[in-house]
Amino acid sequence: MTQTTDKLSTHVSVKEAEMAEVLAKIVRDKYQWVEARKQTQPLDEFKAALTATDRSFYDALSGEQTVFITECKKASPSKGLIRDEFDLDYIASVYNNHANAISVLTDEKYFQGDFEFLPKVRSIAKQPILCKDFMVDTYQVYLARHYSADAILLMLSVLDDEEYQALAKVAHSLNMGVLTEVSNEEELHRAVALNAKVIGINNRNLRDLSTDLNRTKELAPLIRELAPNAIVISESGIYTHQQVRDLSTFSDGFLIGSSLMAEKNLELAVRKVTLGENKVCGLTHSDDAAKAYQAGAVFGGLIFVEASKRHVDIEAARLTMSGAPLNYVGVFQNHSVADVTNTASELGLFAVQLHGDESQAYVDELKQSLPEGVEIWKAYGVASGAESALPELLESNVTRHLLDTKVGSQTGGTGQAFDWSLINNQSAIMLAGGLNPENANQAAKLGCLGLDLNSGVESAPGKKDADKLQRAFAAIRNY
């Protein structure tokens, strides 16, 4: 064993007492990796050619809106393999449309990462690229910049103050940003004393790898008090838009990796977490489906009710669906179980939405009849006048409940909103009725699963307006 390795072993063993077993092993292995990499790729071979980055990590995370650092992560120690088809071209192209910055895992042994991933992602995406690794040596900072990284992660659970300052100094000399990660109050105070510009609160307990989103709620106010100009990022355990909405009053943004990487359709997964699971209903043409998709919708609604001004038959629905890869929802009203099942099967619908007087018995029968995996949504009319009251919701086999405005005997398509203060269980609710660019932001703040837009984003019945759609989704994203 060399003298250097002896020194490293002693240095790490002192820290191990305060680290979780997994983290301690990762850090020990990282010191060995660094020494080996210095031999195969010596610093003096590339240091002189390094230039400062022209993509500011700090600028990218500044501004009024909530920011997102989306992550390229193939595997992790806690979850194992997360994304088998790790297509960086696809991942980077999706993130390019949504992220403020992009994190790339480069640790090889535990995350199946690679420094070669950095330039590949950067060549596709316009955002600053964060090299996410267990940084323990200034060599790694230089190496990250050599591979085109614009920022690095520094973990205060791994580094002491002197080490942190040395690594941060190198990063800033190359105009690279630093995401300073803390996991408890003691590390938070250190981050503040070290003048960290971006502080990431890790919601994961590094001892048992559990996650607790309350950590952001507990630590963020203290950062606001002690370092009001610092940018606060919530990391780990973020899966839904409702969690994002809940935590957005505490943090300036989020770093999200595993929950996105686990989803096959990454584009829709990013939309769900950043915008919510929103639907544009009453689609009658492929162009309108494309407009809805481009604006940010996850679901597209096809109305099979003949009395509707936006009625489509199966062929028209098929043509409409060809316009964009939305998750399509068929809207039915007092149709027979056979009709609903046949339509869902023929078109490959994601869900069927029942807009009539369908009972629990009907829903139970339909569930048995539908192809496996097709969801059932149930719509309920809520009066818009003085008689406003929430109806009783069905109890089983309904994935989502949709609340829409009822005027007289008509539910839906009224262009009017009901009293939203009546809603008391947003977790399974889709909100419809009178939604438009002017009230979409207020509606989104309610914390429902998603909004269902229709007449408020049209230029005429059945004709979607691209400008209204863009403005409505911009309003939804404005938080």
Tens of pLDDT along 287-303?
999 999 999 999 999 99
- Cα(23)–Cα(77) distance, rounded to whole angstroms? 10
Structure tokens at 156: 């205060």
What are the φ/ψ torsions at residue 217 (nearest 5 degrees)? Answer: -65, -30
Q: Which residues of the chain have pLDDT under 70?
A: 1-19, 385-388, 408-414
Task: Specify the pLDDT at position 390.
Answer: 82
Q: Where in the chain is the domain with CATH 3.20.20.70?
A: 3-271, 276-477
State the catalytic residues: 71, 73, 132, 181, 202, 235-236
Task: Specify the pLDDT at position 413.
Answer: 59
- Scored b (16 or more CB within 10 A) or e, 206-243 reads beeeebebebbbebbeebeeebeebbbbbbbbbbebbb
- Cα(299)–Cα(311) distance, rounded to whole angstroms? 17
Task: Specify the pLDDT at position 3.
Answer: 45
- Cα(200)–Cα(188) distance, rounded to whole angstroms? 9
Q: Locate tokens 């630093």: which residue? A: 178
143: three-class secondary structure by DSSP: helix
Q: Locate tokens 């790339």: which residue? A: 104
Query: What single letter denotes the amino acid at residue 391?
Result: P
User: 239, 230, 235: which is closest to 216 by C-alpha?
Assistant: 235
Contact 4, 39 (CB under 8 A): no
The pTM for the full model equals: 0.91
Contact 221, 251 (CB under 8 A): no
Query: What single letter denotes the amino acid at residue 225?
Result: E
Q: Cβ neighbours of residue 46 under 8 Å, at least 6 residues apart?
A: 142, 143, 146
Contact 34, 41 (CB under 8 A): no
Identify any residues that bridge with 235 across adjacent strands, giving them in sequence order: 202, 255
376: three-class secondary structure by DSSP: strand
Structure tokens at 65: 């809106």
Task: Compute CA distances 219 → 194, 240, 423, whole Å.
Answer: 17, 21, 30
User: 455, 270, 103, 18: which is closest to 27 by C-alpha?
Assistant: 18
Q: Write out the CATH class of domain 3-271.
A: alpha beta
- Cα(406)–Cα(104) distance, rounded to whole angstroms? 49
Fold type of domain 276-477: TIM Barrel (3.20.20)
Indicate the angle between helix axes 21-40 and 138-146, nearest 10 degrees: 60
